[in-house]
Amino acid sequence: MSKPKLAYYLAGGCGGCDIAVVDISEMLVDVALAVDIVFWAPTVADVKYKDLEAMPDGSIDVGLFTGNVRNSEHEHIAKVLRNKCKVLIAFGICAACGGIKGLVNLHTTDELLDKAYVNTFSTDNPNKELPQTTCVVDGKYELTLPTLMYARPLDEVVKVDYYIGGCPPHYEHVKAAFTALLSGQLPPPGSWITMGK
């Protein structure tokens, strides 16, 4: 019997939700052996975005989406994952509700760039250089950075099947989620998955 296929994507988050997965400690080994990780970005599995897009729709059993939707890449991958995954989970409060990362909506992009790259005590940037939205690599490849957007929770972009709260999610919630997913005993669609449910 083939293993359930799992995808994981970090969008506009901090990586703390990645740590929440590792935080299930010895259960991580059981999960790793029980699933086939087909996409884990941007950190672990050597699967590129174009490989994800080539997968048949509905071919991934579970997708975990962490962080909110903050730029055009996040929005695109959210839509791709929605098409590829039978079950899509907003993992962590940024994906579920916007989270602390949603505070960027209180400021303009110019204010945020100024605070991050120019106007702090620890910044040495006399020419007020800011990140460029395009650059040329090796003199031949032009790269364009994703466009920043108003930060949104995942369900403002695509339909979400389940939510896991917390910042980051408590390991007992993550364990409960993997237990439910691997046993096939999922709560009603639209539920928040918490410990013991």
Q: Say whether residue 173 binds ligand SF4 (CB under 6 A).
A: no
Minimum separation from the CB atom of position 105 to ligand SF4 (A): 14
How near is the Cβ of 95 to ligand SF4 at its closest, in Å?
7
Q: Please report whether residue 14 would count as binding ligand SF4 according to CB under 6 A.
A: yes
Task: Give the 3-state DSSP-derived string for the chain, with helices as H, strands as E and coil as C.
Answer: CCCCEEEEEECECCCHHHHHHHCCCCHHHHHHHHCEEEEEECCCCCCCHHHHHHCCCCCEEEEEEECEEEEHHHHHHHHHHHHHEEEEEEECHHHHHCCHHHHHHHCCHHHHHHHHHCCCCCCCCCCCCCCCCEEEECCCEEEECCCEEEEECHHHCCCCCEEECCCCCCHHHHHHHHHHHHHCCCCCCCCECCCCC
Candidate ranges 13-21, 33-41, 52-60, 147-155; the one touching ligand SF4 (CB under 6 A): 13-21
x/- binding map, residues 128-167, to ligand SF4, per CB under 6 A? Answer: ---------------------------------------x
Stretch that binds ligand SF4, among 11-19, 55-63, 107-115, 116-124 (CB under 6 A): 11-19
Nearer to ligand SF4, 63 or 92 (CB): 92
Binding region for ligand SF4 (CB under 6 A): 13-14, 16-17, 66-67, 92-94, 99-101, 167-168
